[in-house]
Structure 1
Amino acid sequence: MGKDKLRRFAEINTFSNVLQLDEGKVMKGRWASEHFKNNHPVVLELACGKGEYTVNLARLFPEKNFIGIDYKGNRIWRGAKTALEENIPNVAFLRIQIENILDYFAEGEVSEIWITFPDPQPQISREKKRLTYPGFLDKYKAILEHAGTLHLKTDNDGLHAYTAGKIEELGLNLHLKTEDLYQSDLVDDVLAIKTYYEKKYLNSNKNINYLKFSFH
């Protein structure tokens, strides 16, 4: 492991806005009241990477709480450090495996979920690792409030098509869908947020797919 990664892992241990593994379990059902000290809605970004979406959403919506989730602490470091440096109080990061998400959030505790440029896991043998596989969707349904929504932004056409197919197959509610976000009329301040990877894809003239859907 490189020196930078080791330094970042050590540094996030001191960050007040980062909770890791079992440390985060104590917040289950109490994220708003105990961590953020308010009663505002809780929004998650899954596979948040460097946390660009988490931090930028928090800037746009100070009346909501945002939690970026990823297992790679050296990536979380960037978003967490930015939030601390800019004194953005409605941001937290949780370093866990997403498949364990039910250990960290109570039923109906989350108002919205963003999945931004996850690993598409294109091999058929790895379907169960896709973050929109039905097994994952069942977990999201458990922690989302009744009217909660999910968003998927991805450069991967296969993952987009797979997810759209699951939405139809499972009888979920599809709100918005596009295979080329920046050529559509959907772009607003929220969808215009670009992650590090998204900028790379756009520079390569890659189309960006977007889905918004809900369970109820």
Structure 2
Amino acid sequence: MRMRNKPWAKEKMMEYPQYVIQNPEEHRGKWKELFEKEAPLHIEIGTGKGRFITEMAKAHPDTNFIGIELSDNVLVSALDRLIEAEVPNLKLLNVNAKNLPQYFEEGEVDRIYLNFSDPWPKTRHEKRRLTYKDFLALYESILKPNGEIHFKTDNQGLFEYSLVSFSHYGLLLNYVSLDLHNSGMEGNIMTEYEEKFSNKGNRIYRCEAQFPDGQRA
């Protein structure tokens, strides 16, 4: 689906520097200073319109969250949610996930969420998938030892690919669900896409993968 261009999006985000952090590289290694209290740091890559990350921040006030989204046309919707919610434990970044080590130092992040990422189904686009080995190396570089990736998608092909990618990289698969909404899992917070696809009858796939302690070179 093509996203409507919002030429005013960047200007609006600049008006709320307390929510959309400008020059995030200046906070590398010091993110805890931007939040009201020191707490574990969880980030979502591809936060979209912000439903998941905002509701997670509400549900888990003892965790700090950062939502990362490359498209300013999309992130401005997440900003609107955050303005309304007024949760102190959530910040937003309008940056490219390829540059994560520029914004977070080694071991600064406790958990990464990947929700309904673009499946990039063509083989020649494999390197663009957020569960490709090069991205896993980026995640490992900023996660604490034993840090986790929580991954959800409705795309069976991407899910199968990701399980193999995780396993080949050496991650531990702590949880795998082939039908999340019929799994009995409690506390699941849906994204906009998750609700849309689930209402169409699509199965939702979810896994929790963990980097083993001591793997980092």
TM-score category, normalised to shorter length: over 0.9
Identity %: 33
Question: What's the secondary structure of 1:5's corresponding residue?
Answer: coil
Residue in 1 that maps onto 2:198: 202
Q: Does the 8 Å contact 2:29/2:104 carry over to 1?
A: yes
Residue of structure 1 equivalent to 2:157:
158
Match of 1:110 in 2: 109
Does the residue aligned with 1:18 lie in a helix, a strand or coil? coil
Residues of 2 paired with 1:74 and 1:188: CA distance?
Answer: 32
Q: Tell me, in whole angstroms, the C-alpha distance in 2 between the residues paired with 1:204 and 1:3.
A: 24
User: Which structure 2 residue ranges, 5 or more long, are not aligned?
Assistant: 213-217
> More deviation in 168-177 or 152-161?
168-177
Structure 1: gaps of 5 or more residues: none
- 1:45 alignment partner AA: E
Given that 2:4 and 2:73 are in contact with CA atoms closer than 8 Å, whether structure 1 keeps it comes out as: no
Q: Is the 8 A contact 1:83 1:89 kept in 2?
A: no
Comparing 10-19 with 116-125, greater Cα deviation is found at 10-19
TM-score, normalisation: structure 2:
0.92
User: Across the two proteins, how many residue pairs are aligned to each other?
Assistant: 210
**Structure 1 residue 3 displacement after superposition:** 8.6
Taking the aligned partners of 1:49 and 1:127, their CA distance within structure 2 comes to 21
State the match for 1:121 in structure 2: 120
* Deviations 1:128-168, CA, capped at 9 Å, x for gaps: 10000010001101100112111100011111000111222
RMSD: 1.7
Deviations 1:174-200 (A, max 9, x none): 100011111213x211x2x11111111
User: What does residue 13 of structure 1 align with?
Assistant: 14
TM-score (norm 1): 0.92
Tell me the secondary structure at the aligned position of residue 127 of structure 1: helix
Q: Does the aligned pair in 1 maintain the 2:79–2:92 contact within 8 Å? A: yes
Greater mean deviation of Cα atoms: 9-18 or 117-126: 9-18
Q: Which amino acid aligns with 1:207?
A: R
Structure 1 172/3 Cα, relative in aligned 2: closer, same or farther at 3 Å? closer
